[in-house]
């Protein structure tokens, strides 16, 4: 078994699911279990400054083994948490060796399968070895594959001093999946000139664009009256929420969008006749379209409040992150070097927009331009998540080559 796969299997056994509503940082203290392990492993590799700080950030430095001046300091980052959309506890990975292109049985007892008709990315990996879930949890490739790839690349560079490289800063962050991964990250102390997140994406992908993002929470105030005497008196908060949702464009939902198309995504809705709550995320790569989507939701809320005669709906709308393109594009060499590294290991670069966000999107606006390099994972945040082992191996090769190229440029 390849070292990167061994590391990955070790890391996914640790439950690091983050939480959207929390009074602590990290949002779940169990993320510190992985932080502690990674700090110990980094120290065992010989990175003496490896540490976990009070906020759960794991950082370490691989010193340069070349004395040329003006070699930029590069950061490599990945996040430790897994999505709260599905449990990350008791992950039981399965290996599908020499995948034949057919339906993958994830859990025979529960009848959970994954067919290439529904999940077409499977067809790209005929003949490869896949790591899948057992249908009861997510896998954790998002982003423990990124952590395993960075750790393996660092170990390889230490074992091969003939590969010359500059100073490399390593950072593993909590809470990326809930949008607060770099809330307390000290860019100046980290000390990198630029960085790359290693977070998601199929083999060969490199990304410098992501969504502009906002979150919306709505409280709907109803009026409950005995249904037998409710005529012209009852105000059903659940029905009002459904009516509001119908004011938003149907085909601007995640299930109908791709590439550069943005969306409104309702991910939580519940309550009673008396009071209900809804939660949305709003996404678009284009800043003007993003602002228009926020304005549309606000106008829908105003309309509902005017219709029902008082403040029936309370809206809280918060900015989350912005498209990193505005911050990365002025530094074209960062992307050029990543593309060159991908080509150097025999892959075809795929420059696709991130249909989501990474820590890099916020770091880029904090003064650290940080595009994203693939891990090889697919269908994250759910039970259909999988990753080909060869993609992880290629990611390690890319990171090693990246370090070498940065020292040469």
Residue 152 has pLDDT above 80, yes or no: yes
Catalytic residue among 41, 176, 177, 284: 176
- What pLDDT, on the 0 to 100 scale, is given for residue 166? 96
Residue bearing tokens 């100073």: 167
Residue 1 has pLDDT above 80, yes or no: no
- What pLDDT, on the 0 to 100 scale, is given for residue 21? 84
- What pLDDT, on the 0 to 100 scale, is given for residue 391? 97
Residue 54 has pLDDT above 80, yes or no: yes
List the domain boundaries for the chain: 3-210+323-408, 212-320
Q: Which helix (H) or strand (E) holds 299?
A: helix 287-308
Is residue 253 classed exposed, middle or buried when 0-12, 13-18 and 19+ CB atoms within 10 A define those classes? Answer: middle
- What pLDDT, on the 0 to 100 scale, is given for residue 204? 97
- Residues 14, 34: contact at Cβ < 8 Å? yes
For the segment 333-352, the average pLDDT, to the nearest whole number, is 97
Residue 263 β-bridge partners: 283
CA distances from 208 to 176, 195, 196, 345 (A): 17, 12, 10, 20
Question: Which pair of tokens denotes residue 46?
Answer: 């010989």
Catalytic residue flag (residue 41): no
CA distances from 226 to 168, 236, 240, 244, 267 (A): 67, 12, 18, 24, 30
Average pLDDT of the chain to the nearest whole number: 96
Residue 103 CB-half CA count within 13 A: 11
Residue 43 has pLDDT above 90, yes or no: yes
**What whole-number distance in Å separates Cα of residue 175 and Cα of residue 16?**
9
- What pLDDT, on the 0 to 100 scale, is given for residue 210? 92
CA distances from 233 to 224, 227, 291 (A): 8, 10, 37
Of 3.40.630.10, 3.40.605.10, 3.40.190.10, 2.60.120.460, the CATH number of 3-210+323-408 is: 3.40.630.10
For the segment 256-272, the average pLDDT, to the nearest whole number, is 96
**Alpha-carbon torsion, ordered 196, 201, 205, 206, to 10 deg:** -30
* pLDDT tens-digit map of 159-198: 999 999 999 999 999 999 998 999 999 999 999 999 999 9
pLDDT tier at 310, thresholds 50, 70, 90: confident
* pLDDT tens-digit map of 360-409: 999 999 999 999 999 999 999 999 999 999 999 999 999 999 999 999 97
CATH architecture of the domain 212-320 equals 2-Layer Sandwich (3.30)
pLDDT tier at 354, thresholds 50, 70, 90: confident
Catalytic residue flag (residue 81): yes
């Amino acid at each position: 078994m390849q070292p990167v796969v061994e590391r990955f299997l070790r890391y996914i056994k640790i439950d690091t699911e983050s939480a959207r509503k929390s009074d602590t940082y990290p949002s779940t203290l169990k993320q510190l279990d992985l932080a502690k392990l990674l700090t110990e492993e980094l120290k065992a590799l010989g990175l003496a400054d490896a540490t976990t700080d009070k906020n759960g950030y794991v950082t370490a430095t691989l010193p340069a083994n070349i004395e040329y001046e003006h070699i930029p300091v590069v950061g490599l980052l990945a996040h430790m948490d897994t999505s709260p959309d599905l449990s990350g506890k008791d992950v039981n990975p399965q290996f599908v060796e020499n995948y034949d292109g057919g339906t993958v049985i994830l859990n025979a007892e529960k009848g959970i399968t994954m067919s290439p008709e529904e999940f077409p990315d499977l067809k790209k990996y005929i003949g490869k070895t896949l790591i899948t879930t057992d249908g009861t949890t997510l896998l954790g490739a998002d982003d423990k594959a990124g952590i395993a790839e960075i750790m393996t690349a660092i170990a390889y560079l230490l074992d091969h001093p003939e590969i010359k490289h500059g100073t490399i800063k390593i950072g593993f962050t909590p809470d990326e999946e809930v949008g607060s991964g770099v809330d307390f990250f000290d860019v100046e102390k980290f000390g990198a000139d630029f960085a790359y997140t290693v977070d998601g994406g199929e083999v060969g992908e490199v990304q410098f664009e992501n969504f502009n993002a906002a979150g919306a929470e709505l409280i709907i105030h109803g009026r409950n009256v005995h249904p037998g005497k409710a005529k012209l008196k009852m105000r059903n908060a659940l029905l009002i929420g459904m009516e509001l949702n119908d004011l938003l464009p149907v085909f601007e939902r995640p299930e109908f969008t791709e590439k550069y198309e943005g969306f409104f995504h309702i991910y939580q809705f519940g309550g009673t006749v008396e009071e209900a709550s809804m939660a949305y995320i709003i996404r678009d790569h284009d800043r003007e379209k993003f602002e228009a989507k926020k304005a549309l939701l606000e106008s829908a809320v105003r309309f509902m409040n005017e219709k029902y005669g008082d403040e029936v709906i309370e809206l809280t709308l918060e900015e989350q992150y912005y498209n990193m393109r505005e911050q990365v594009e002025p530094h074209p060499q960062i992307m050029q070097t990543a593309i060159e590294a991908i080509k150097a290991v025999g892959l075809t670069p795929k420059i696709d927009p991130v249909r989501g966000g990474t820590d890099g999107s916020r770091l880029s606006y904090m003064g650290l331009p940080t595009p994203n390099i693939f891990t090889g994972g697919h269908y994250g945040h759910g039970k259909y998540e999988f990753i080909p082992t060869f993609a992880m191996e290629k990611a390690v090769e890319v990171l090693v080559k990246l370090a070498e190229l940065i020292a040469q440029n």
